[in-house]
A and B are shown apart, each in its own frame.
Chain A
Amino acid sequence: MTCRDPIDYETLVAYWLGELPATRESMLEEHLFGCAHCTTRLEGLAALASGVRMAVNGGEVGMFVSEPFVEAMREAGLRLREYRLEPGGSVNCTIRAGDDAVISRLRAPLAGVERLDAVRTRGGGEPEERLADVPFDAETGEVLMLPSAAWLKSMPAFTMRVRLVAVGEAEERSVGDYTFNHSPS
């Protein structure tokens, strides 16, 4: 099973996400329907997309997200628990068996910030973890943190501190510290 003129992966991705112009899409579909090799590669991409959805739905992946993504999670029927923290704030938090995800809204003065890092520290002598260049919304002044629900559900009580750091060319400055006192439900 070979192809003399295989479609490059980036074009397959653009096709899958509906980014190609109609004529290009039509030509690509003609090729795909006659080519088992390229179909197999597209099937791999479809499996990856499906796997990503399953990982999110199953709470297997932690990350920083956008407001529309939170809306998409709600529309997909996921049950969300939310916490909102101001700079310097702390919260007693948990995740219940019926929760699919926990969203933490970290409020911060983000106007003019070009790059934001998040520095996480957990008690128990664990080393500090710096997450570079996390997504944020400067307009709303919010960072939406979505920890892995599966991981949270497996955890005993612990305290986690998060510091948001605005990184500029010459210097960096803290824009907020947040404390999460997690207890299992």
Chain B
Amino acid sequence: MPQVSPLAALDDGVLARRIAESGAAAPDSAAEAELYRRLAPRVRLYGLRHLRDRQAAADLGQQVLLMTLERLRAGKVREPERIASFVLGTCRMTVLEMRRGTRRREALLETWGDVAEAFEAPEPVVLAPDRLAGCLEALAERERSVVVLSFFADKQADEVGAELAISAGNVRVIRHRALARLRECMGAGEDGP
């Protein structure tokens, strides 16, 4: 069972404040590791959503979080209590830079070196492939087609509707029903995946 950090009960802003107050001379490694662990999934999901590429999302995560820690240590985050907003803003800026081809990650890794490897991001959630395949097979034909067409290439309802000659509204209805059935089949609760 993974160890729960004693810092887990603190909110993001309190952790960020601790990192800022410790500075670069005597960094608060435990607070940095906890904040990194906590924010990594949020940045990775942002990257997946906007870059649609697993490796690019992982690179974004590392770059954004190292930049965040660097700025916190240097006292350059104006409101550490609003660290989530700072990280989101950094994500947006970095995705724009990545699309322009700017590479800042290498320089950050050079600065942080081995320290970066000490930060651990939780592994992405993976669903049991056999079970998911069985649950997909259990859907009605049109439900399965809508779910697969939607998520294989991340297509919006109007695109899927055009491909299947049905309205976008109808796609949303079928998608909603199919996802509810899939989640039930996969054993996901109301708050689960």
- Taking CB atoms, residues of chain A closer than 8 Å to B147 are 52
**B18: shortest Cβ distance to chain A, in Å?**
18
- Taking CB atoms, residues of chain B closer than 8 Å to A16 are 49, 154
Per the 8 Å Cβ criterion, residues 115-134 of B in contact with A are 124-127, 129-130, 132-133
**B133: shortest Cβ distance to chain A, in Å?**
4
Q: Are A33 and B85 in contact, with the CB atoms below 8 A?
A: yes
Q: Are B48 and A46 in contact, with the CB atoms below 8 A?
A: yes
Pick the contact of B182 from A37, A48, A134 — CB < 8 Å? Answer: A48
Pick the contact of A33 from B84, B151, B175, B183 — CB < 8 Å? Answer: B84
The answer to whether residues A33 and B88 also contact, given A44-B192, A46-B48, A48-B182 and a CB cut-off of 8 A, is: yes
Q: Are B142 and A47 in contact, with the CB atoms below 8 A?
A: no
Query: In chain B, what residue has the closest Cβ to A10?
Result: B176
- Taking CB atoms, residues of chain A closer than 8 Å to B78 are none
Q: Are A64 and B151 in contact, with the CB atoms below 8 A?
A: no
Pick the contact of A63 from B84, B148, B154, B165 — CB < 8 Å? Answer: B148
Tally of B interface residues using CB under 8 Å? 54
Interface majority SS on B: helix, strand, loop or mixed?
helix
Q: Are B125 and A43 in contact, with the CB atoms below 8 A?
A: yes
Query: In chain A, what residue has the closest Cβ to B11?
Result: A34
Q: Which residues of A contact B (CB under 8 A)?
A: 6, 9-10, 13, 15-19, 29-30, 32-34, 36-37, 39-56, 58, 60-69, 72-73, 118, 131-138, 148
Q: How far is the CA of A63 from the CA of B144 in the complex (A)?
A: 7
Query: In chain B, what residue has the closest Cβ to A3?
Result: B191
Q: How far is the CA of A62 from the CA of B136 in the complex (A)?
A: 9
